[in-house]
C-alpha cells in the first residue's frame, strides 16, 4: 500500500548482504519531495551501519522509475529558498547515496527524467528495461538540473553528449542509453528482474572489501566536487524568480508548450 505523500524505505535481505531502497509514490510517478529526500539520507545512514554488500535502488509502480522533483513543491520558492533548501537537500541526499561504500544498482523500468535520472546517476550501475526513457528536460521548464545532473552526466557520457541531452530536452531510449554509456545492462521488461539478480550475484561474488576499495578509489578520482554543487545551487536560485520558470511551470500544469521570453 502506497503512502499519498510518498516515502523511501529500506529492506535488507535475510542474509544481510543486499539492501534495497524503495522509492514509493507511484500515484505521482514517484515524484520526489523534501521529506522523501530526507528519508533517502536517513536510509543511506542505515545502510552505512549495516553489513550489506550491494545496494539496489528501485521504485514503485510500472509507469515510471521517477519523474524527478515534484513541481508543486518548488514552484513557489524564492531564490534563497531554492538555493538554501531545495537544491541543498537534494545534493545532500544524492551525494549520500553516491558516496556509500557499497556498489549501488538502479533498476530503471520506465521513464527516468529530471531528478529521477539524477537519482539513477547517483548510483554506480544502471540496469534499464527496453521500455525505459531517460533525460534531463529542465531547460524546457525554465531552470537547470539541480541535483548533480550537470556534474555526473558529463562525467559519465562526455560533455558534448550531456549538453545534447540537456539542451534539446530529448529522452534517450534504452538502447541509446547503453550505446552512450549511461546504462550498463539492458533487458526486456519480462527479464529485468532476472538480469538484476544476475548482476547482483556477480557483485556478491567479488571480494567484499576489495569491491568497496575499488568503488571509493573511483569516486575519489571523479571530477564532481563542492564547487560544482555551488554552481548548480546558484543556477537554480537565479532561475527561481524568472518569468520563464513561471511560464514553464504554468505550461506544465496546463499541458501546453511554454512561450519563453528570456526574462
- Does 21 reside within a domain? yes
Q: How many domains does the chain have?
A: 1
Domain membership of residue 255 as a residue range: 1-189+208-263
Kindly report the CATH number assigned to the domain that includes residue 42. Answer: 3.90.226.10
Is the pLDDT higher at 6 or at 239? 6
- Does 197 reside within a domain? no
* 225-262 CB burial, b ≥16 within 10 A, e <16: eeebbeebbebbbebbebebbebbbebeeeeeebebee
For the chain, give the mean pLDDT. Answer: 92
Residue 72 has pLDDT above 70, yes or no: yes
Q: Which residues are catalytic?
A: 118, 138
- Does 159 reside within a domain? yes
- pLDDT tens digits for 160-205? 999 999 999 999 999 999 999 999 999 999 999 999 999 999 999 9
pTM exceeds cut of 0.75: yes
For residue 155, the tally of other CB atoms under 10 A from its CB is 16
Q: Please state the rounded mean pLDDT for residues 28-57.
A: 97
Is the pLDDT higher at 238 or at 40? 40
Contact 234, 85 (CB under 8 A): no
Residue 14 has pLDDT above 90, yes or no: yes
Backbone φ and ψ for 260, nearest 5 degrees, come out as: -80, 150
- Does 203 reside within a domain? no
- Does 199 reside within a domain? no
- Does 202 reside within a domain? no
pLDDT of residue 1: 47
**What is the percentage of the chain residues whose pLDDT exceeds 70?**
95
- Does 60 reside within a domain? yes
- Does 174 reside within a domain? yes
**Nearest 10 degrees: Cα torsion 88, 93, 98, 102:** 160
Amino acid at each position: 500500500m502506497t503512502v499519498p505523500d510518498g516515502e523511501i524505505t529500506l529492506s535488507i535481505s535475510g542474509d544481510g548482504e543486499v539492501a534495497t531502497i524503495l522509492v514509493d509514490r507511484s500515484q505521482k510517478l514517484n515524484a520526489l519531495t523534501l521529506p522523501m529526500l530526507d528519508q533517502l539520507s536517513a536510509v543511506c545512514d542505515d545502510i552505512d551501519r549495516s553489513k550489506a554488500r550491494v545496494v539496489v535502488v528501485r521504485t514503485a509502480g510500472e509507469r515510471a522509475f521517477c519523474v524527478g522533483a515534484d513541481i508543486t513543491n518548488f514552484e513557489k520558492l524564492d531564490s534563497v529558498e531554492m538555493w538554501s533548501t531545495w537544491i541543498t537537500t537534494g545534493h545532500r541526499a544524492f551525494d549520500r547515496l553516491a558516496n556509500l561504500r557499497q556498489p549501488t544498482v538502479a533498476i530503471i523500468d520506465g521513464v527516468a527524467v529530471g531528478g529521477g535520472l539524477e537519482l539513477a546517476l547517483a548510483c554506480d550501475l544502471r540496469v534499464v528495461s527496453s521500455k525505459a526513457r531517460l533525460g534531463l528536460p529542465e531547460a524546457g521548464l525554465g531552470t537547470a538540473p539541480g541535483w548533480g545532473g550537470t556534474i555526473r552526466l558529463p562525467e559519465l557520457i562526455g560533455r558534448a553528449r550531456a549538453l545534447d541531452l540537456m539542451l534539446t530536452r530529448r529522452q534517450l531510449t534504452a538502447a541509446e542509453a547503453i550505446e552512450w554509456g549511461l546504462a550498463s545492462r539492458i533487458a526486456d521488461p519480462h527479464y529485468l528482474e532476472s538480469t538484476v539478480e544476475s548482476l547482483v550475484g556477480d557483485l556478491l561474488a567479488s571480494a567484499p572489501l576489495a569491491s568497496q576499495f575499488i568503488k571509493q578509489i573511483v569516486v575519489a578520482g571523479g571530477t564532481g566536487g563542492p564547487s560544482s554543487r555551488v554552481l548548480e545551487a546558484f543556477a537554480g536560485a537565479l532561475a527561481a524568480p524568472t518569468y520563464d520558470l513561471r511560464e514553464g511551470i504554468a505550461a506544465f500544469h496546463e499541458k501546453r508548450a511554454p512561450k519563453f521570453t528570456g526574462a
